[in-house]
């Protein structure tokens, strides 16, 4: 996509971005020759090497790869947590690397839901407050946001633990709350970093089902995983990450 095309992209400064706006979006995620080099002292680590990826809305993308191959780096870049060293990145057709951190953080809150291997819930906040957390920029009343957050907890069958702190929850329960949090603001893209790695069979199955449900609803879901049951899911596109290079399995 030429750089000037994004001038026609969605106006995110509007109060309400409607479904019609998203229908015009060509790619949920697009990376063009993206590299990420970490500099520590004199050493340079090329964590991503000329990565190209096009993800359309509603696609399920599964990426596997050895420890240290660059999976988390790639997700952090797509989620606007980190910046590319070179190359171009478009999320919902917006070149988010060109914007300042203020824009990037509000863009992140409304467009990408992040699910981590270690859940990353805020330890001092209850389950309900953790789900409310990404809704902080909304202009709706606290009461209506609380109702929305409660509905999301119901969706992951965690409403009965709404006032529990993270340490008062099991691992699987924490991850379900983390999924409810990722669904806050109804983002079009879900990013998951080894979401089932620390979970036992039953909890893992629930997380897999929730991810697939979100994908069926039309969200683009990108999962970094070694979980064979996710990798073998029909209808997904599979990729392999090797020393910072991304390759599609065909
Ligand atoms: N902040 C950082 N500073 C320097 N090097 C880093 C940093 N983060 C990651 N790296 C290096 O970049 C490479 C890719 O790391 P990354 O965390 O993306 O791998 P990964 O595939 O997610 O691994 P794992 O499966 O263990 O989670 C590794 O060699 C790692 O040591
Ligand atoms: Mg990782």
For 187-222, the pLDDT digits (tens) are 999 999 999 988 888 888 989 999 999 999 999 999
The answer to whether position 89 is within a domain reads no
Cα separation of 41 and 185, whole Å? 40
The answer to whether position 27 is within a domain reads no
67 Cα: distance to centroid of ligand 1 (angstroms): 8
Q: 140 by DSSP, 3-state: which?
A: coil
CB 111 within 8 A of CB 189: yes
Q: How many domains does the chain have?
A: 1
Pocket of ligand 1, candidates 72, 116, 224: which has the most ligand atoms within 8 Å of its Cβ, to mutate?
A: 72
pLDDT tens-digit readout, 119-165: 899 999 999 999 999 998 889 999 999 999 999 999 999 999 999 99
DSSP string, 92-142: TTB-GGGS-HHHHHHHHHHHEEEE-TT----TTS-HHHHHHGGGTT--S-H
Pocket of ligand 1, candidates 43, 44, 47, 74: which has the most ligand atoms within 8 Å of its Cβ, to mutate?
A: 47
Segments forming the whole domain that contains residue 141: 58-82+98-248
The answer to whether position 78 is within a domain reads yes
The answer to whether position 67 is within a domain reads yes
Q: Residue 61's beta-bridge partner residues? A: 222, 237
The answer to whether position 28 is within a domain reads no
Kindly list the distances between the CA atom of residue 123 and the CA atoms of 16, 153, 234, in Å, as whole numbers in the listed order.
31, 17, 36
The answer to whether position 224 is within a domain reads yes
The answer to whether position 7 is within a domain reads no
165 Cα: distance to centroid of ligand 2 (angstroms): 25
pTM, full prediction: 0.90
* 3-state helix vs strand vs coil in the chain, percent to 5: 40, 25, 35
The answer to whether position 142 is within a domain reads yes
Q: Which has the closest alpha carbon to 188: 73, 118, 93, 88?
A: 93
**Any idea what the CATH number is for the domain that residue 209 is in?**
3.40.50.300
Give the ligand 1 atom nearest the CA of 76.
18
Kindly list the distances between the CA atom of residue 139 and the CA atoms of 143, 162, 179, in Å, as whole numbers in the listed order.
12, 23, 23
Report residue 87 as tokens: 């190359």
244 Cα: distance to centroid of ligand 1 (angstroms): 9
């Amino acid at each position: 996509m030429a750089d000037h095309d994004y001038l026609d992209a969605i106006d995110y400064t509007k109060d309400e971005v409607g479904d019609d706006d998203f229908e015009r979006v060509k790619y949920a995620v697009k990376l063009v020759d993206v590299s990420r080099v970490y500099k520590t002292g004199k050493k340079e680590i090329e964590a991503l090497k000329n990565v190209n990826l096009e993800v359309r809305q509603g696609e399920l993308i599964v990426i596997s790869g050895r420890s240290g191959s660059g999976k988390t780096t790639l997700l952090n870049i797509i989620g606007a947590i980190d910046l590319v060293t070179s190359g171009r990145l478009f999320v919902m057709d917006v070149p988010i690397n060109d914007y300042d951190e203020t824009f990037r953080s509000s863009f992140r809150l409304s467009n990408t839901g992040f699910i981590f291997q270690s859940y990353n819930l805020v330890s001092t906040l209850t389950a309900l407050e953790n789900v409310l957390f990404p809704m902080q920029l909304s202009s709706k009343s606290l009461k209506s946001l609380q109702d929305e957050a409660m509905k999301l907890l119901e969706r992951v069958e965690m409403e009965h633990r709404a006032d529990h702190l993270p340490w008062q929850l099991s691992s699987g329960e924490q991850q379900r709350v983390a999924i409810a949090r990722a669904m806050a603001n109804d983002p079009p893209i879900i990013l998951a970093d080894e979401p089932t790695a620390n979970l036992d069979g039953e909890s893992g199955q629930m997380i897999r089902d929730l991810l697939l449900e979100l994908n069926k609803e039309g969200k683009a879901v990108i999962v970094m995983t070694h979980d064979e049951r996710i990798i073998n899911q029909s209808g997904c596109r599979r990729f392999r990450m090797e020393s910072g290079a991304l390759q599609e399995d065909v």
